[in-house]
Amino acid sequence: MEVNPRIFVECSKRIERFKNMGFGFFKKKKKKDKKTTSMEHGPGESTNEVKLEQEKEIDENQIEKPAAAEKNDSQVKISEDPGTGLPADSQTGFFKRLKIGLSKTREFLTTDIDELFSKRKKIDDALMEDLEALLITSDMGVETTMTLMDSISKEAKKVKDASQLKELLKENIIAIMRDMPAPPEIPAVKPRVIMVVGVNGSGKTTTIGKLAARFESQGKKTLIAAADTFRAAAIEQLGVWAERAGSEFVRSKTKADPASIAFDAVGASMARDIDIALIDTAGRLHTNINLMEELKKIKRAVAKKMPGAPHEVLLILDGSTGQNALSQAKQFHEALGVTGMVLTKLDGTARGGIVVSICNSLNIPLQYIGIGEKIDDLQKFSPERFADALF
């Protein structure tokens, strides 16, 4: 696929502009690199099969049961918009919240489209090239940008001003996002086991907290399992989220093997009539074979306790990491069979075009998007609403 050199120059200029505007992506990257190194497991982590004695009855003494199951007033209630299943916020409305979350991407995309027209009066090759550069810089990716440009250029003659171009772009973006496969059917089993995976710092723990709160507010009984045993702080962080959401929380008293915690947690969920069990795992680089094997082992352990589980493998991707999210998704999918994705931190980046790129390039449903750090900053992904909030 050929990209005009002029577009690269235009992209670099725009990236430079991002830096000057102080967008979080460029600042955070350094911090995240540091976090990634310090948090990676040692190479000697065991990848053995789950021991057979785990098949025995769960040793309840090994599982801590904090008081989280007792509901208290501080727990967050998330009401849902009945039509869409999106969380409603009494003060600003769920759609307004989405718009606020996506404001950086919106500002970048729409202001620049206005700018394209301020320089010229009609659609010509130069304008189309600038549009192409704009889409690539917003992280739509080269392939998706080419698809969009092909369809737009067929109708470009009809376009007379910036608002018409925005409308045309919006229609084509919606068409790409609608093409995504449907989310898996919710199994009629109890517990429904959801294993949550992703690279370091992508937002797994936070998303589990948000999801648990969402399920609890739908009247479901949830349990959260800390199968991220790598850092004590990670377990504490998950415990705080469990309490906020009103979920039961399973952790090991000693530094146990993540697979055995996941195994015990599924057993505990079966014994305690839990509707949905969420299993948190440690962040890992998708390129680290040993750590990917460890995830497979967790998955096998869960299936040993409950045939058919995990019913979902949810991959959490950081929206501000750009096109790298695509290769992460491919490798996690290859190793584990990912059933759905969550794209987080879309509030912190002007490069929200990654959403379109992910829908276009991967055959895995994008189920939720994260637009902030608060418990109700998670929305079910809807192509139409996303596009409405963007333009």
Ligand X SMILES: Nc1nc2c(ncn2[C@@H]2O[C@H](COP(=O)(O)OP(=O)(O)OP(=O)(O)O)[C@@H](O)[C@H]2O)c(=O)[nH]1
Under the rule (CB under 6 A), what is the footprint of ligand X? 39, 198, 200-206, 228, 234, 283, 316, 344-345, 347-348, 370-373, 377
| The residue to which tokens 């750009």 are assigned | 322
Radius of gyration of the chain (CA): 22
Q: Kindly state whether residue 200 participates in binding Mg ion, applying the rule CB under 5 A.
A: no
CB atoms within 10 A of CB 381: 22
Nearer to ligand X, 42 or 83 (CB): 42
* Min separation Cβ 252 and ligand X, Å: 16
Which uninterrupted H or E stretch holds 165?
helix 162-178
**Shortest spacing between CB 36 and ligand X, in angstroms:** 9
Shorter beta-carbon distance to ligand X: residue 145 or 206: 206
DSSP characters over 120-133: -SS--HHHHHHHHH
Tokens of 342: 């969550």
Shortest approach of ligand X to residue 153 CB, angstroms?
35
Which helix or strand (DSSP H or E) is residue 344 part of? strand 340-344
Q: Using the minimum distance from each CB to ligand X, give the nearer residue, 294 or 377.
A: 377
> Least distance from C-beta 75 to Mg ion, angstroms?
21
CB 389 within 8 A of CB 371: no
Residue 373 contact among Mg ion, ligand X, none, beta carbon within 5 to 8 Å by kind: ligand X
* Residue 205 in the binding site for Mg ion (CB under 5 A): yes
Structure tokens of 32? 């995240």
Does 202 contact Mg ion by CB under 5 A? Answer: no
Q: How far is the CB of 259 from ligand X (least distance, A)?
A: 17
| Minimum distance from residue 71 beta carbon to ligand X (Å) | 24
Distance CA 280, CA 62 (A): 18
Contact between 367 and Mg ion (CB under 5 A)? Answer: no
CB 379 within 8 A of CB 210: no
137 binds Mg ion (CB under 5 A): no
Q: Which does 248 bind (CB under 5 to 8 A by kind): Mg ion, ligand X, none?
A: none
- What distance in Å separates the CA atoms of residue 188 and residue 211, rounded to the nearest whole number? 19
Q: Which does 302 bind (CB under 5 to 8 A by kind): ligand X, Mg ion, none?
A: none
22: alpha, beta or left? (left if phi > 0; alpha if psi -120 to 50): left
Residues binding Mg ion: what is the number (CB under 5 A)?
A: 2
Closest residue to ligand X: CB criterion: 283
SS3 354: helix
Footprint of Mg ion (CB under 5 A) = 204-205
